[in-house]
Amino acid sequence: MNNFDFYNPTQITFGKDRMGELAHLVPAAAKVLILVGGSSAEKNGTLAQVREALGQRTHSTFSGIEPNPSFETSMKAVQMVREQGFDYLLAVGGGSVIDATKFIAAAVLFKGDAWDILLQFGGNITEAMPFGVVLTLPATGSEMNNGSVITRQELGAKLPFRNNHVFPKFAILDPTKTYTLPAKQLANGVVDAFVHIVEQYLTYPVNGSVQDRFAEGLLQTLIEIGPRLLTATEPNYDDRANLVWSATLALNGLIGAGVPEDWATHLIGHELTAKYNIDHARTLAVVLPSMLHERRVQKHAKLLQYGQRVWGIQTGSDEERITAAIEATRDFFERMGLPTRLSAYGLGNEAIDLVVAQLQAHGMTQLGEHSDVTPEVSRRVLVGAL
């Protein structure tokens, strides 16, 4: 097992009918800026519950944070916070709103050009505004971690940052908030969480027994509940609760502590999103199966373990079992309604040239747990995903 540091101070308030806890979780004297994406939180009554729970606190709402939240939109919120003197932020939404809120929390107090935060991946953040989360869309795990991804639209750049100052103070996770989500967003959430886990698990063995078992348990849970989420005629509370808690634990730092991590699939996927506006989870569904095929030698031992423990693949030669494990993964994504081929999005070789060029432009030339995913390897992965 590798040495590691683990720290996660976010307070989780999980379950039905927990919105009233906002009254205790947000400081009584706070002047609160609520941040939302589109109009769904207003329409489905979540914002009304939030405002009621905030009681006498002064609050306003900033709406319009887009999927793949932008630097440009975030800076408008930064300006609003500065001008109107808010001292607490409350993200009401999914990963995009939370990621933007993290950036805003840091940017408001940042000395200098806030874009530098992203150029230095957050290492230059020394303070941030306090903020909480009301989660409405499980997927990214942003509600219980210190990471965020921001897109600068004018540059077509999607860059991650992380810093312990941007852990949410709290996150309210109410599984019933997922009841109004369209099937596509549920499916995206399952696949996003699934690939988060894979990025921290399907590398090479370091005898991290606990980390492996936890990762496998989360994957098994998602495989079990995923298809049911799509076919259920009425939402099942426990399935929704397990989805929410799996997605949170998939990326709260726990299963990655002490083991190698990959993230090449994500970084290639980011470029596909930045260039072609494909949903984040959908880029992962396209890239991952091909990535696993391409790197089956480096990932040999863990692919066998994955096949056996997660998919119950016990027979055949090593190579047959590895192929079966990868194809089971592809089949799962397809069953969740996510295509696993670039051609499903009308993309061909020209797109591959562009994505590889963008990877090079962004310095993404040594990806993966062995730093051996060069642009040439990324190209082969994308060709394999045609």
Distance CA 255, CA 83 (A): 41
The encoded tokens of residue 154 equal: 């004018």
Task: State how far the alpha carbon of 27 is from the alpha carbons of 161, 338, 367, in Å.
Answer: 27, 42, 42
Q: Does 16 bind its own copies (CB under 8 A)?
A: yes
Q: Does 13 bind its own copies (CB under 8 A)?
A: yes
- Structure letter (DSSP) for residue 65: P
Distance CA 154, CA 152 (A): 6
Amino acid at 185: Q
List the one residue from 117, 218, 338, 377 that touches its own copies (CB under 8 A).
218
Answer whether 238's CB lies under 8 Å from 221's CB: no
The encoded tokens of residue 318 equal: 């090593």
Site string for its own copies, 244-263 (x = CB under 8 A): -xx--x----x--xx-----
Nearer to its own copies, 17 or 83 (CB): 17
Nearer to its own copies, 149 or 247 (CB): 247
Task: Give the closest residue to 223 by CA, choosing from 209, 239, 235.
Answer: 239
Q: Phi then psi for 33, rounded to 5 degrees?
A: -105, 115
Q: Does 227 bind its own copies (CB under 8 A)?
A: no
Instruction: Indicate the pairing of strand 88-93 with strand 170-173.
Output: unpaired
Site string for its own copies, 20-59 (x = CB under 8 A): ----------------------------------------
List the one residue from 209, 277, 360, 371 that touches its own copies (CB under 8 A).
209
Q: Does 83 bind its own copies (CB under 8 A)?
A: no
Nearer to its own copies, 178 or 242 (CB): 242
Amino acid at 157: A
List the one residue from 72, 127, 224, 372 that touches its own copies (CB under 8 A).
224
Nearer to its own copies, 2 or 349 (CB): 2
Per CB under 8 A, contacts with its own copies among 280-319 are none
Distance CA 64, CA 181 (A): 18
| Owner of token pair 């540091």 | 5
Q: What DSSP line would sit under 293-321, residue for residue?
A: HHTTTTTHHHHHHHHHHHH----S-HHHH
How many other C-beta atoms can be found within 10 angstroms of the C-beta atom of residue 147? 19
Site string for its own copies, 172-191 (x = CB under 8 A): ---x----------------
Q: Does 331 bind its own copies (CB under 8 A)?
A: no
Size of the site for its own copies (CB under 8 A): 44
Nearer to its own copies, 224 or 319 (CB): 224
Residues that bind its own copies (CB under 8 A): 1-18, 175, 206-210, 212-214, 216-218, 220-221, 224-225, 237-238, 241-242, 245-246, 249, 254, 257-258
